[in-house]
Amino acid sequence: MAYRAHQTNKKNGVTYVYDVVSVWHKELGQARNKQVCVGKLDPATGEFVPSKRLNPQQAAVRDPVVTASAQVVGPAVVLDEFSKRTGLEKMLKSCFPDTHRQILAMANYLAIEGGALSHCEFWAKSHEPDLAASLTSQRINEILSSIGTDPEFPEICNEELFK
């Protein structure tokens, strides 16, 4: 298990930052910690300063401020094209002008994952990051409760939407 440790040098007051990894020592039959100094904390600001002996790419990776994110786009591209060709996107936009993007994202979640919509919020963070904040469980409940069974609904969605 890897973690980050801070140790302060009592002589100069500098706080050093170490990456610590637990390893199993076969001969002793015990766990040992392997520590690698990755930098220090700036005494004035408290910011992490990477060690000079690390190359710039490795220092950037070890910096806790730097984060990486990935977005899964494959299934969404296919489903978005499908919704455009079938007219689903146009129909949702005309029937639900404020929430059509969230409804389409929920439909994509159900088509890709097939799980409960309560998990859609976490799925959206990697698949629909621009909608992730608006797809909380409470917001999903509000959107679903706003969709009613209006008897005039079939008249709204006529053939003109699919042209």
| Mean predicted lDDT score pLDDT of the chain | 80
- Strands ordered across the beta sheet of 2-8: 2-8, 15-25, 30-41, 48-50
Indicate the pLDDT class of residue 128, thresholds 50, 70 and 90: confident
Share of the chain above pLDDT 90, in %: 13
26-72 pLDDT per residue, tens = 999 999 999 988 889 988 888 888 887 776 666 666 666 666 666 67
More confident residue, 146 or 56: 146
Stated pTM of the model: 0.50
101-111 pLDDT per residue, tens = 888 888 888 88
Residues with Cβ within 8 Å of residue 158, at least 6 apart in sequence: none
Q: Quick one: pLDDT at residue 162?
A: 47
> Any alpha helices (H) in 36-136, and if so which ranges?
56-62, 74-86, 88-95, 100-112, 120-127
Contact call for residues 6 and 26 (beta carbons, < 8 A): no
More confident residue, 28 or 73: 28
